[in-house]
Amino acid sequence: MRTQFTRKFGGAIIALLVTSLIAIVSIGDYTPIKEIKASNSHVIVCSGHDPVFNGEYMTYGKQSPTWEDGLKIYEGRSCQLLALELTEKLIDAQIDVTYLNPYSHKLSLLERVTEVNKIFKIDKRVLLISLHHNAQQTKTAPYIDKYGQKGYLSTADGGATGIESYTSVGYTESDNLNNNFIIPELQKEFPDIKFRTGHKTLGKEANFYVLTQTNCTAVLIEWMFMTTYTDCLIISNSDYRNRYTDAICRALVSYDKSRAIRSGKSITKPLDIVA
Ligand SMILES: [Zn+2]
């Protein structure tokens, strides 16, 4: 199994390692600002699930199998890191941002939605971005790890792949953000990754709790499948992760500018000197 596995995916693993090495990651840099810009959006970034804390994964399920090479994705941990990365990039782009769940305790869906609505009540610029990884039914999947968790090795054995980006059912401002900004940027950034579109629109629609119970514009992105090994290689690759959060950040910056154009507001204001 191991040699067959290595032979099959060795090339892909090496390619991903090389792209990781040449990736220039700017996270952690301090970029001084010359002028304070007023952003027209206040982005609330939400990691879709609770992370690992105190030696325990705080979310039930929501993980990949342990693959033959030891790789395993915990959705809550991976999305926590992506959310932090996106938050940092938005700060750098001078888009107002709040990271919704930086806690060491679980945050229920109700608590998340209540918090978003509370912030939206006092700040109508608020919009929500919820980050997730996808999963498919694995009853017929051929791979089983030592804990009995199943998965697919690639699309060749039935594994699902790609990106889905959701809004609530029906046309709202969320569809504008999703179809005209987020999805085009993701498609431009990842032309080789399958984009799983909706029936009539680019974005998919579903009545997910965080999409229907929040009063603000809200988009939920499912980035790659944890149940497919070849997708997990992408999820765990720092170059892909960096490009993913870069693409969302670019989309939000363009959306922010479009909001300024629509409202006819100036998008910059002079730097106030505060003693
Ligand atoms: Zn999820």
pLDDT tens column, 140-165: 999 999 999 999 999 999 999 999 99
pLDDT at 202: 87
Domains (range + CATH), the chain: 42-262 (3.40.630.40)
* % of the chain exceeding 70 in pLDDT: 85
CA of 156 to the centre of ligand 1 (A): 24
CA of 61 to the centre of ligand 1 (A): 10
92 has a pLDDT exceeding 60: yes
Average pLDDT over residues 94-102: 95
CA of 18 to the centre of ligand 1 (A): 29
pLDDT at 151: 98
- Rounded to whole angstroms, the Cα distance separating 68 from 233 reads 12
In sign, the C-alpha dihedral spanning 127, 131, 136, 139 is negative
Average pLDDT over residues 259-270: 62
Instruction: Classify residue 187 as left (phi > 0), alpha (psi -120 to 50) or beta.
Output: alpha
Single-letter amino acid, residue 99: Y
CA of 75 to the centre of ligand 1 (A): 7
- Rounded to whole angstroms, the Cα distance separating 119 from 217 reads 13
Hey, which of 192-201, 202-211, 257-266 has the most confident mean pLDDT? 202-211
Single-letter amino acid, residue 253: V
Single-letter amino acid, residue 124: K
Lowest mean pLDDT among 46-50, 55-59, 269-273: 269-273
- The pTM of the full predicted model, rounded to 2 decimals, is 0.86
pLDDT at 104: 80
CA of 38 to the centre of ligand 1 (A): 32
pLDDT band (50, 70, 90) for residue 13? low
